[in-house]
């Protein structure tokens, strides 16, 4: 979507290696989120950020860490990738008010072999 | 905590036929409800949302949804489906409550729509 980009779009990595996914926004939204999408589970929140250097865990945060050093960038790191982390990862942004929805990036397909 | 149920994992309709995708939510207060669509290989796009007022809301691409508080439902409808509507559809309920005061969307597991020509 316009204003939010994810990189890379596809990645294959080996078990045990570190991986970092990047989300970049140009909308100056306060809130940024990382979700993973798996068949039968829909979207599950991994971590989110409510400002520069302000982050918190979602429902499936084990094995993941995040950082936000600038408003526009939100990084998701898999410290030591496992096969269970093979998934499609989506970044989303929001202004944070209740009636506002999220704007999603196009996703990163990560395969851990 | 809020939750969303989409009871139909897959639905197949013929092009030109009407469509209804079901969504039931659980939330203790007035819900903020959303429908998103995901085309293959793409992110999620907002179709429509409800947070107050008229219980029948119109969205993009000819979709509409009706909020029924008594049934805790927010079903998505379209009078005549086009082949390009084949996609996965997600219902979501929103609430405040994240650290930092932000809105949290809780998503259903999705309904995959197939359109037969």
pLDDT in tens, A45-100: 999 999 999 999 999 999 999 999 999 999 999 999 999 999 999 999 998 877 77
Q: What is the pLDDT of residue A2?
A: 62
CA distance B75 to B93: 13
**Residues 73-92 (B) with a CB less than 8 A from some CB of A:** 90, 92
Nearest to B49 among A51, A101, A106 (CB): A101
For residue B96, give the nearest of A40, A98, A105 by CB distance: A98
> Which residues pair with residue A59 across a beta bridge?
none
In chain A the beta strands, taken as DSSP E runs, fall at 4-7, 10-13, 19-25, 31-38, 42-51, 54-57, 64-70, 73-78, 87-94, 103-104, 108-112
pLDDT at A101 over 90: no
Q: Which residues of B touch A31 (CB under 8 A)?
A: 98, 100, 102-103
DSSP annotation of B60 reads G
């Amino acid at each position: 979507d316009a204003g939010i980009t994810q990189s890379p779009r596809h990645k294959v990595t080996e078990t045990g290696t570190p991986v970092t996914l990047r989300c970049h926004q140009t909308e100056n939204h306060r809130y940024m989120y990382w979700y993973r999408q798996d068949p039968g589970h829909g979207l599950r929140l991994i971590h989110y950020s409510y400002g520069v250097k302000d982050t918190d865990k979602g429902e499936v945060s084990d094995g993941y860490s995040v950082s936000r050093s600038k408003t526009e960038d939100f990084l998701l790191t898999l410290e030591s990738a496992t096969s269970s982390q093979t998934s499609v990862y989506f970044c989303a942004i929001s202004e944070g008010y209740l009636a506002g929805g999220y704007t999603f990036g196009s996703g990163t397909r990560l395969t851990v072999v | 905590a809020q939750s969303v149920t989409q009871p139909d994992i897959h639905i197949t309709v013929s092009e030109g036929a009407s469509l209804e995708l079901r969504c039931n939510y659980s939330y203790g207060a007035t819900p903020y409800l959303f429908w998103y669509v995901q085309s293959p290989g793409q992110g999620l796009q907002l179709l429509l949302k409800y947070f107050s007022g008229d219980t029948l809301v119109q969205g993009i691409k000819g979709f509409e949804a009706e909020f029924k508080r008594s049934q805790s439902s927010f079903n998505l409808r379209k009078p005549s489906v086009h082949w390009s509507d084949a996609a996965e559809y997600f219902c979501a309920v929103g609430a405040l409550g994240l650290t930092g005061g932000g809105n949290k969307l809780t998503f259903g597991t999705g309904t995959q729509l197939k359109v037969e020509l």
